Each structure stands twice: as structure tokens, then as C-alpha cells.
Amino acid sequence: MRAVEAVVVLVLGATAVAAPAAAQQPAAPPPRAAAPAAPVATLARVGEAPPSEVALGVSLPPNSVFLGSFNAGQGQRYYLYGSTGSFADLVTYYRGVLKDRGELVFDAPATHMFDIGRFREESMAFPPSVTVKDYTWGGRGGYLNPVRGAQPARYPTIVQIVPATAGTP
């Protein structure tokens, strides 16, 4: 079973109900709405260096480009890599490297996940894993390159790596 995380912010409002005039008490002010929570996933430092394959605990496909890292919460980060390789080629690559078939978790857009460590719910926000996602699904042009004017302008496939150890540099 996969852990799926979602951030949901609920804003509750109060509605005053009128009571008979004789028994009416001063209405309490409605509770304050909670301020929206900051997004859990925030981009890392500007110009950060890509982590080594040793720090990630997994090798990277040829022609992959480090796009950035995000704070996943609970001391974890996840790392995004753009690739000009096809979804099928990258899934085949990781099947060979990890000696694991992984699991197709979504058909559309195609998303394949490989576990690379044990998920500890008490200390992790995401399971240690490699996720490969097809960004050309439905005729889309791919994942936009965050560097304006860089080539390629879009990556057909993105690889997300959540290392097995928290606090990976």
C-alpha cells in the first residue's frame, strides 16, 4: 500500500442561530479562520548543487538534469531530474538498476514507482522511492525547463527521488 500525502486546509465559519428574545444571549464572535498553511513543498536554495548518487542512494539515468529539490517535511527532501529519455526507457533503466519491477501507480499520466527503502510513518513524510512520470501524456509538450531559454525547453519525463535517509544534502 502506498502512502499518499495531501495538504488540506479547512476554513470553518460559524453561523449564529437566533434564539427567542427572552432567552437570547449575546452572540459569541465567530471563531477566527485559521490562516492558510504554507505549502509543504517549497523549492530549495537558489543555485543549489545537485546531490551525489551516493547521497541519493540510487544511480541517475544518462542525460538527466538536476532541476531542484523540495522540502518534503519531517527532515526529508525530494529531488527532481528532467530527462530527454522516454517514460518506457527510464522505467526499463530503473528496473535494471534496482533489480525490481516497481509498480505502475497511474495509467494516465503514466507514473511508475520503485521503492528504495522502508517507509517509517513516524519519521517520514514520503516513502523512499524513485518515481518516473510521463509529462507528454495527452499531447502535452513535457515538463517546462525552469531555466528560461535553456535546451531542451521541455522534458518529456521527470524522475523524482526520495532518498532513504532523511536530511540528504
Residue 34 lies in a domain: no
Q: What is the pLDDT of residue 122?
A: 85
Q: What is the pLDDT of residue 13?
A: 30
d(CA 97, CA 105): 19
Higher pLDDT, 40 or 125: 125
Residue 12 lies in a domain: no
Residue whose grid cell is 543555485: 47
The pTM (predicted TM-score) of the whole model is 0.70
Residues 6 or more apart from 88 whose CB is under 8 A from it?
none
Share of the chain above pLDDT 90, in %: 57
Instruction: Please give the C-alpha separations between residue 127 and each of 16, 68, 165, in angstroms, as whole numbers.
Output: 45, 19, 10
d(CA 27, CA 166): 49
Mean pLDDT of 110-114: 97
Residue 95 lies in a domain: yes
In this predicted structure, the answer to whether residue 99 has a pLDDT above a threshold of 70 is yes
In this predicted structure, the answer to whether residue 152 has a pLDDT above a threshold of 90 is yes
| pLDDT tens readout for residues 30-67 | 444 444 443 334 444 457 889 999 999 999 998 899 99
Residue 28 lies in a domain: no
Residue 56 lies in a domain: yes
User: Domain residues for 124?
Assistant: 41-162
Residue 113 lies in a domain: yes
What does 119-150 look like in DSSP terms, one character per residue? Answer: --TTT-SS-SEEEEEES-GGG---EEPSSTT-
In this predicted structure, the answer to whether residue 159 has a pLDDT above a threshold of 70 is yes
In this predicted structure, the answer to whether residue 86 has a pLDDT above a threshold of 90 is yes
Residue 99 lies in a domain: yes
Mean pLDDT of 5-10: 26
- 135 within 8 A of 109, measured Cβ to Cβ: yes
Mean pLDDT of 92-113: 96
Mean pLDDT of the chain: 78
- What pLDDT band is residue 22 in, cutting at 50, 70 and 90? very low
Mean pLDDT of 131-160: 95
Number of structural domains (the chain) is: 1
Residue 105 lies in a domain: yes
